[in-house]
Structure 1
């Protein structure tokens, strides 16, 4: 897209819109005139993000909703709150996620491994509850933000909860791969049901804080960070640029469901472009089995209303 189109009559939800790539996704979408809802666990962080967006986008229409993807039982309440505020959703960007450090395996309150339970299962269940709002729009879009870290991973369908040989970064990569499989399988099921909602998968490439412009108080680039990031900028980018594939997937009506979008240069930096599906993402049987496991673990199955 040569320029960001106006979307003054649209409503978008960005999960994790209070920080990182989610913040910049929300900021860029707010620049279209759309109403942008930030899904956040923290009221204070959401307020700070909204203030930062308003400082950059005069007249920005932003609001927030409480969202805790690690608590599956709370998600229906999130959508109930949304339904009191908006009549429809034109898009949701499934961006929120956790990446923990350390060797200790942790679980959500539902007893799921925290990366898999938050990044994948939380968005899986949230989609179920959001579908009525999405189907109320003429042609809504679900945008799932994966990760370049997932490209080197494969799902272990016999150990989705990472009980065997837990490693935080590997588990994170697999949780993002699960999200990407979900986004593609979701689109297949939406198409089969004749839904007007479509599902697109994106990833931000390599997005570093040191290459990200300041947005106080949400993000303040430390002195010297830009200089240290000079060499990295040859192959990586900031989080403001990492948000562009998701923004493009929300706004570009020419993008079709079931596509994968990421940065043009080695998949790590540059303008968004349509990528060929990674080899593991072409495995529809793995996606189907993941869907079945996710349905069992969450008790819901995202599907168009009958």
Structure 2
């Protein structure tokens, strides 16, 4: 094998350069999203944190700059629970192209009662799924302007055991917080796969990849005060769990690889190597229920009707998508 054709193994601690690229990370001010942003910043790319709370975004940017010399990081205000606020996001980015968006932000409620967004949608479904669905539509002109952009949707291992109720997507008839959360993440994952099918159908250069972080615990996550603080007691008590799960810094690895690795293709699922719960990122077989294109198509149509936009409504190759 010639040296020109040799591709080194993926190394989560030695990422390829991405100078000149622009990446948007929703929810990049905390949790897994913060570590996605921190790791991507080390590649020389410009990383934009999408956050509904500017003060928290400022703290996250200061933390990244303290750890990544020369980090090019900034923030835009982004509230996925308010669909009308998403249109101005494109202008606020101030770029002529976007090389990747990581759909990471999410709401997880542990207890009733059921809550709704200002648009009248169940809060988790409306934010985690519908918000990202609509944001993708708004961003598609910028993504289409890049040579080979990627939409990376961060799902959840919790979605593996869930199934969508297409007649009650917003849990109006039977609301259980943990189940509704899992289903909202499952809807996101269906969207990611269906988006790629529709992008391929029109010859778009944009690819859609789905990832999940496995089991990612605060107690196994390195400290990034004041964003993430891990005490010595928490570290010791969590040690046994490290055999099965990992911290949020490692939970970020599949998304980072999906953004950067040229070997990753649209329509793929990536997660942690060990039982899908911990370890370095690897490609997984698409879960059986996620391969149901009829469910994905029905979800897409409902999401389009609820948001009033269609991320797959793109011109064909002869209308501006050819190199």
TM bracket (short chain): over 0.9
Matched, 1:201 2:214: no
Once the two structures are TM-superposed, the CA of residue 305 in structure 1 deviates from its matched residue by: 3.5
Of 85, 88, 96, the residue aligned with 2:97 is 88
Of 149, 165, 169, the residue aligned with 2:178 is 169
Using the alignment, how far apart are the partners of 1:134 and 1:126 within structure 2?
12
Using the alignment, how far apart are the partners of 2:263 and 2:188 within structure 1?
23
Once the two structures are TM-superposed, the CA of residue 21 in structure 1 deviates from its matched residue by: 0.1
Counterpart residue number, 1:286? 295
Matched, 1:67 2:78: yes
Question: 2:202, 2:314 within 8 Å by CA — same for their partners in 1?
Answer: no
Once the two structures are TM-superposed, the CA of residue 32 in structure 1 deviates from its matched residue by: 0.3
Question: 1:131, 1:304 within 8 Å by CA — same for their partners in 2?
Answer: no
Counterpart residue number, 2:221? 212
Using the alignment, how far apart are the partners of 1:239 and 1:250 within structure 2?
17
Once the two structures are TM-superposed, the CA of residue 222 in structure 1 deviates from its matched residue by: 2.7
- Unaligned 5+ residue runs, structure 2? 1-9, 316-323
Larger Rg: 2
Question: 1:193, 1:304 within 8 Å by CA — same for their partners in 2?
Answer: no
Once the two structures are TM-superposed, the CA of residue 169 in structure 1 deviates from its matched residue by: 0.5
Using the alignment, how far apart are the partners of 2:60 and 2:155 within structure 1?
22
> Number of matched residues?
304
Once the two structures are TM-superposed, the CA of residue 282 in structure 1 deviates from its matched residue by: 0.7
Once the two structures are TM-superposed, the CA of residue 304 in structure 1 deviates from its matched residue by: 5.2
Counterpart residue number, 2:197? 188
Q: How does 1:83-122 map to 2 (within 5 A)?
A: 85-122=94-131
Using the alignment, how far apart are the partners of 1:134 and 1:69 within structure 2?
19
- Unaligned 5+ residue runs, structure 1? none
Matched, 1:35 2:46: yes
Using the alignment, how far apart are the partners of 1:117 and 1:222 within structure 2?
35
Spell out, residue by residue over 1:66-96, the C-alpha distance to the aligned partner (whole angstroms, 9 max, x if none): 00000000000111211xx212110000000
Q: CA RMSD in A?
A: 0.7
Once the two structures are TM-superposed, the CA of residue 9 in structure 1 deviates from its matched residue by: 1.2
Counterpart residue number, 1:131? 140
Using the alignment, how far apart are the partners of 1:111 and 1:245 within structure 2?
33
TM-score (norm 2): 0.93
Report the CA distance shift for 1:68/1:9 in structure 2 as closer, same or farther (over 3 A): same
Question: 1:195, 1:304 within 8 Å by CA — same for their partners in 2?
Answer: no
Once the two structures are TM-superposed, the CA of residue 101 in structure 1 deviates from its matched residue by: 1.8
Question: 1:31, 1:60 within 8 Å by CA — same for their partners in 2?
Answer: yes
Counterpart residue number, 1:46? 57
- Runs of 4+ in structure 1 displaced over 3 angstroms? none
Counterpart residue number, 2:248? 239
Of 31, 36, 40, the residue aligned with 1:25 is 36
User: SS of 1:258's equivalent?
Assistant: coil
Using the alignment, how far apart are the partners of 1:95 and 1:19 within structure 2?
10
Spell out, residue by residue over 1:126-151, the C-alpha distance to the aligned partner (whole angstroms, 9 max, x if none): 00000001011000000000000000
Counterpart residue number, 2:277? 268
